[in-house]
Amino acid sequence: MTGRAILLSLVVWIPAAGSAAPRLSLSNERLELTIGFALEGGGCRLHDRETDETYRAAEFGVVRVWDNTEDRMRTLLLAPEATTSTCRLDIERKGPAEAIVHVDTGPGSASPMGTMSFGVAFDVVLTLKDHALECAIRIAGLREQQAPPGVPQRWRLMNVELFPLLGATPAGSPGYLLIPSWSGAVYYFDRRHPRANPAYTKAGHGDLGTEAGLRSRWGFNPDAPDEYGSMVYGRQAVWEDQLQLPIYATIREHGGLMGILLGGEYDTELRARRHQGPQRTASINPVWHYRQYWHSKLDPVDRRVRLIAMDGKQAGYVGVGNLYREYLLNERGVKTLRERAATNPEVAYFMDSIYLRMMMGMKRASLDGKGEMRSFQTWDQFAEVVPRFRQAGFEKINFIFVGANFQGHDGAHPTVFPLKPAHGGEEGFRRMMRVLDAAGYRAGFHLNYKDCYRCSPDWNPAFVQTNEYGELRYHGAWIGGYSYQAIPQEMLERFGKRDLPRLRALGLRGMHYWDACLSVMEETFPPNRVIARREYGEGAIGYFDYAAQVFGTVGCETSIAPLLGIIVSAGNTSSPNGGASRQFNGSGYCGAALLDHWVPLQHIVYHGLCTYAAGPELAGRTGHEFNAAPTDQEIATIRRKYLESQAYNGPLAYEFIVNHERPSAGRTRTTLSDGTRILVNTTDQNWTDGDAVVKPKSHLIQRNGNR
C-alpha cells in the first residue's frame, strides 16, 4: 500500500456469528458521517455539529438490476450478504474525511437457483469537505459482467439509490421538503400547517371508492400513493412535473440539508416519500438511473451529489436558491447578466429593450399538415406600424416574429425558407427590415427544432428519434400534423448551420427564440442515432449556443439550469396558481399528495442570470404579443405597462433576489442584492409594514437607504 491508503475488508462473505456489524465513520470540524453496513439493523447518520441536526438514512444503499432471463427487476441492499444473494463491501480509507466503498455483487450466476450474484461492481466515493458531504459513483470503476459470445447478458444495472430516506423527518415536525417542481414546491411535515394543501385532508383522497377519490382519480397513483419520483429535466410521460433545477432540500427548524446534483443529473430521479414507518416520516432523495429500459444506452458519466448542511439562517427555499446560484457562478463559470452585457452589445441591447412578439400567421390545423394558410399581417403592414413605436417613446425593442417561417407557426418544422408569400415573402421582409433598422430596433424568429412534420420539404425519418419499440417517436399533433420528435444533433448539423446564417444575412440580430425544445429529455434507440438523455440535452444546448453566436443572444420558452449563461430570457418560468395550494392536473407529486404549494425557487436562482416574465413580486419583465398590426391604443397601453415595470425591473434585472418573504396571505416582501425592497399587497386592505403603508392591490418599492 502507498501513502495513507488503508484497505479494510469488511466482509469475508459470511460474518462470524455474534461479530460486530461493520461500520465506517468519517468526520471533519462541521460534520460526522457514520454508516452501519449490517443487513439488518444498519443505517446511516449524518450529524451537523453546528446546528445539532442529525439526518438519518435507512440503509447505505440499494441497487436494482434487470434480470434478463426472467424479465424482471431485482433489488439488492448494499450490505454484507452471502445467503440468498452476493454482496461484498470493502472500505478503502483515504483519511479521516474520505473513503471509498468498493461494492461487488459477485460474478453473476447463470442459474436462478441458489445464491444470486448480479455481476455488477462499482465504487462509492465519500468525501467530507467543510459543510458538505460529496457522494460519487465513478464511471471508471463501474463493471457489469459481460456474457460469453452468443449468450445474452443476464444482468444489467438499472439504478442505485445511496442513503435512501436520508433526512427522513417525522410527521408533525417543523419544516418541509423542497421539490424543484416548476418554480419550486414544498411539502410540510406538519399537516396542520396553515398552508398545507387542503385537498389532501379530505376523507378518501386517492381512494377510488369515495367521492373525494373519484374527483382526484386523474392524479392518484395506486401503486405508490405515499411516494413519487420524477426525472430531473423532465420526461414526456410526466412532463407536468417540470423539474428544471438539479437541486432539492430537507428544511428543518434549526437547519437543513440541500442536495446539488453535480454529475449524472440528466439520469437522476428525485424521489419524495411521506408517511413512512411508525413516525410517518417524509424525505426526498436522488436515485441514480443507469438505464430506463434494459436495452437503454448506459451514459458513461460519473454520478455525483453534494449534500450541503445549512444553518438556521440559510435553511429555506431562499437559502437554497442563493447557494445554488453561488455554485453556478463560482464552480460552473456562469456569467451574470451584468457581466455579459458589459462584453456583448446584443445582451446589453436586450436588457434595455422591451420584448414584443408578433404573430404573422399559421395554417388551420389538420393531421395531414395541409390546412389553409392564414396570414394575420403582411410585412408591409407591420412596417407601417414601426414608426408609431418610436413616436410612443420606445427607443429599443426586440421583436420576435412568430409564424414567419415556411408554412407559418408550427406548420412545417424544421423548414424555414422560403418565407411565406402570404406575408410578402423575402422581398417584403427585406423592406420591413430596412424600416426596422432605421428605427434602431432588433428582431429575431421564433423557431422549433424539437418538433418536425411530414409535410416539411426537408422531411427525412433519419433525423427523427426512434423510441424504445423501434418506432418513430411523435408527441401528439399540432398545426402541421403529427409532431415527430427530432434528434437535436441532426437539427444543428442539417438545418441550423444551413438556415441561421441565412437569417442573419437578412438582418436579424439580437435575441433569437427557441420554442419548447428543452421541456423534456429524450433517449433514443436504433436504427437511428442513439443518444442518452444527457446527449439529448447537450445536443439542444448546442443549437442554442450556435444561435447565440450567430445572432448575439438567445431566449426560449422552456429552460433548464444548464442554459444559464447562454440564454437571456426564459419564457416558461412559472409558479402555478400564483403559488397557492391546489391540485395540479397531471403532476405526479400532487397525485401522491406531496405538493402543498409552489415557491419562487427558480426565480431566486435565475434573477440576475436570466430574465423572465413576472410582476413586481419577482421583479420580472413585461411584454406583449400581437396577432395583427397593433393599433395606437395598444401601443400606448404597452408603453404605460412598460414604464410601470421599469420601476421594479429595469436596472434591478441585473441584481439578485436575496430574500423573499410572505408575512401573511396575499402579502410578499422581496429584497434584492442592492438593498431594494418590493412590497406587494394583493389583498383588499391596507398593509402596514414598518413605516411603509401599501395600498390594496398595489405595490411599493423601497430603494436602498430609503425605508
- DSSP 8-class letter at 562: G
Burial class (CB in 10 A: 0-12, 13-18, 19+), 498: middle
- Cell 449563461 locates to 565
Residue indicated by cell numbers 414608426: 387
User: Rounded to the nearest 5°, which phi and psi values hold at 197?
Assistant: -65, 115
Q: What is the pLDDT of residue 391?
A: 96
Which residue type is seen at 627?
Answer: N
Distance between start and end Cα atoms, the chain = 65
CA distance 568 to 344: 11
Closest C-alpha to 250, from 62, 49, 55, 31:
55
What pLDDT does residue 153 have? Answer: 80
**The three three-digit cell numbers of residue 420, written as one number:** 411565406
Please tell me the distance from the alpha carbon of residue 496 to that of residue 157, in angstroms, as a whole number: 37
408, burial (CB in 10 Å: exposed 0-12, middle 13-18, buried 19+): buried
Question: Could you tell me where the DSSP H helices lie in 392-496?
Answer: 425-439, 488-491
The rounded distance, in Å, linking the Cα atoms of 166 and 251 is: 12
CB 583 within 8 A of CB 533: no
Helix/strand/coil (H, E, C) string of 247-313?
EEEEECCCCEEEEEEEECHHHEEEEEEEEECCCCEEEEEEEEECCCCCCCCCCCCCEEEEEEEECCC
* Percent of the chain surpassing pLDDT 70: 90
Q: Is the pLDDT of residue 417 over 60?
A: yes
DSSP structure string for 517-542: TTSS-----TTS----HHHHHHHHHH
Task: State the pLDDT confidence band at 110, using cuts at 50, 70 and 90.
Answer: low
Cell of 70: 426472467
Inter-CA distances, 611 with 132, 321, 528, 676, Å: 31, 16, 37, 18
Q: How confident is the model at residue 15 (pLDDT cuts 50, 70, 90)?
A: very low
Best CA proximity match to 117, nearest among 148, 149, 145, 89: 145
Model pLDDT, residue 427: 96
Backbone angles phi, psi at 705, to 5 degrees: 85, -5
- What are the pLDDT digits (tens) for 604-657? 999 999 999 999 999 999 888 888 889 999 999 999 999 999 999 999 999 999
The amino acid occupying position 677 is: R
Average pLDDT over residues 679-686: 96
pLDDT in tens, 43-89: 899 999 999 999 999 999 999 999 888 888 888 888 887 666 788 89
Ramachandran area for residue 615 (φ above 0: left; ψ -120 to 50: alpha; else beta): beta
pLDDT value at residue 563: 97
User: Rounded distance, CA 99 to CA 121, Å?
Assistant: 17
Which of 90, 99, 89, 88 has its CA nearest to residue 5? 99
Q: What is the pTM of this model?
A: 0.92
DSSP state of 81: B
Judged by DSSP in three states, 602 sits in helix
Whether residue 96 has pLDDT greater than 70: yes
The answer to whether the CB of 240 falls within 8 A of the CB of 576 is no
Q: What is the per-residue pLDDT for 224?
A: 41
Dihedral Cα 306, 309, 314, 317, nearest 10 deg: 50
With bands split at pLDDT 50, 70 and 90, how would you rate the model's confidence at 114? low
CA atoms of 670 and 702, how far apart (whole Å) = 10
CATH number of 337-452+488-523+530-651: 3.20.20
Task: Give the number of other CB atoms < 10 A from CB of residue 632.
Answer: 11
Mean pLDDT on 265-275: 96
Give the model's confidence band at 207: pLDDT under 50 very low, under 70 low, under 90 confident, else very high: low
Please tell me the predicted confidence (pLDDT) of residue 139: 97
Q: Where are the domains of the chain?
A: 1-166, 172-326, 337-452+488-523+530-651, 661-702
Q: What is the rounded average pLDDT for all residues in the chain?
A: 89
DSSP structure string for 38-81: -TTT-EEEEEETTTTEEEEES-SEEEEEEETTTTEEEEEESS-B
Rounded CA-CA distance 274/165 in Å is 10
Confidence check: pLDDT of 442 > 80: yes
Closest to 176 measured CA to CA, from 588, 679, 668, 581: 581
